[in-house]
A and B are shown apart, each in its own frame.
Chain A
Amino acid sequence: MQIRAVDIFKNFTGSSARPALDGVSLDVGSGELVALLGPSGSGKTTLLRIIAGLDFPDRGSVYFGDEDASKKTVQERRVGFVFQNYALFKHLTVAENIAFGLEVRDRQTRPPKAEIRRRALELLDLVQLTGLEKRRPAQLSGGQRQRVALARALAGEPRGLLLDEPFGALDAKVRRDLRSWLREIHLRTGHTTTFVTHDQDEALELADRVAVLNHGHIEQVGSPDEIYDHPATPFVHGFIGEASALTVDLRAGNLFIGNHQLPLPGRSGRTGRGRLFVRPQDIVIGEGDANGIEAEIVAVRRAGATRRAEIVIPADAGRVEIDAPAAVNFRPGERIPIRFLRGTFFLDGEGAASSLC
């Protein structure tokens, strides 16, 4: 089932200061796994809650397939929702938790007792918790609780699965295990799935597509490759992966640091100040490189297998960090020519990127 949010606007405070969601639209294709990625306060959880029917937008609509779900209650929407802190029913056993959604159905649609039990055990199997059906949530580990929460959300054959920071409360190791496990479950069940995360690794590793949110806007929606390799806005570039931002000038389509022209193809005809985002792996030390820009090493740190150098680019452009093999012997104060293989330039006041190769 395709899930669409169209032009969602939501303001909690009532004052016009900064809406939580400011005209957000998102399509999640049938069977797709989409991540909502953004920093705290970007509105990603609000969007998820509005899709579920746990919050109501001031403007805008939510569609499940062709059906307008906006006026439907959360109960009628029949989505599976997994909460960050599990929200398990503490007084019920694991099996009773999973069966809850089926038990509360009215008499016509409620499966017989035996069928409910069979389904609960089957889901317990799916989330690899076979044999724990009689435990109570207090007797489970965090990872196990989150598995129960997922099984519970899946029990009612939901029309979509929504997960709010599903691994947020877990420690790093459990998080990584559950990540691949969730991917597997998604492959097996094929539910249209949206999950919220602030962890870019989680989003890039898990999702078919990633929607990056900031200040109530969607900055970019795309595959992990597109998001990482072709960030659409300065925010996305700064938020995803490591990057250094340098202040550069665009003069008639060519990029300059100070008076040094960068050997990168620019855009024709434009002039102005802007920022060039460069990832560490796209910076090379070009010894004897005539096109290189002279820069000064200010600090060197050993970082595992590599040596990381902090380098000041002249003309107040900024600083970059590069990784070099440990064998390379940098010294602070040394001046070296460096060159940028790739970068993304954003003209100030314009969101659109001009990728350079």
Chain B
Amino acid sequence: MMHRVIVSALSVGLLLTSASPLYPASEEVVAPVLSRERVVLRTLAGDVVLALFPEVAPKHAAQFLRLARSGIFDSIHFYRVEPNFLVQVASAHERLNPLLPEQKAIIEDIPGEFNRVPHREGILSMAREAEDPDSAQTSFSILLGEAPHLDRAYTVFGKVVSGMDVVREMVRVPRNRDSSPRVRLTVHQALVYENEEALASLDRIGVRPIPVPSRFFDPPVSASDPRILHFLAGGIGAMVLLSLSGFLFRMKLGGSSLAGLLMLNVFIGAFLLFVILAPRAHQNPRMALGTFLGLLTLLKLLGRMESPS
């Protein structure tokens, strides 16, 4: 009986605490106390260092640290990129390495801790279901600009203390119409450092260009694009060189080797065509099928490239 009374009293107290504003309505908190811990997101584009707001969003801060420490953010990715607004990390359930059972067990709904810290550049804001304020789990956003319409509707729980240039680098990647990036913006790892001093031991990776911004869904590269021209010129040059070599050394090379040279030329030519056609192929099923069957034919031919001479 006593136990129930204590639990009830604590629950009411907790409810009252969570319902009462942490700060007076008129006072806008712009510089909340930062956590001692630092979380480093090692992304495709470099390191982003985060600090949390344990006083204005204690549950979010604690759960975020727990998630990061258990490796749940390793291999997640930013699935939404909207310049001047935000970049958003996808749910951990969609990460590259499937979650381990023990990791899945850690993920739980975090009740909303809507506070008065405004949504502005560098702020971390927890995502949630639109209809359920207490449904935040693992997806969060980094704000790229002011977004007052999100204030007190989404929980602000931390901010980027270093590495906004890395975030801006990610914003540069080509995007689809639904704001998803065309290259996977992977967070390779999330590292937790207990304090600033510990963070100093990290060999920080500064901003670096995204290695392969996929242009696959872009309109096909124009034939006048200098890169295409250079590539084609190089490939055709190699083919000419091989043909010339074959001609010059035709006496020394056996028939099989000459046939091999010819096949090699076919291979290079087919690869040039593949690079040109593949980006266009998905727009036309017949072209896609033709490209695929052409590739299979090439592989079949290559198997007979050179017989013992």
User: Does A associate with B in a complex?
Assistant: no
Residues of B that sit less than 8 Å from A by CB: none
Binding site for B on A (CB under 8 A): none
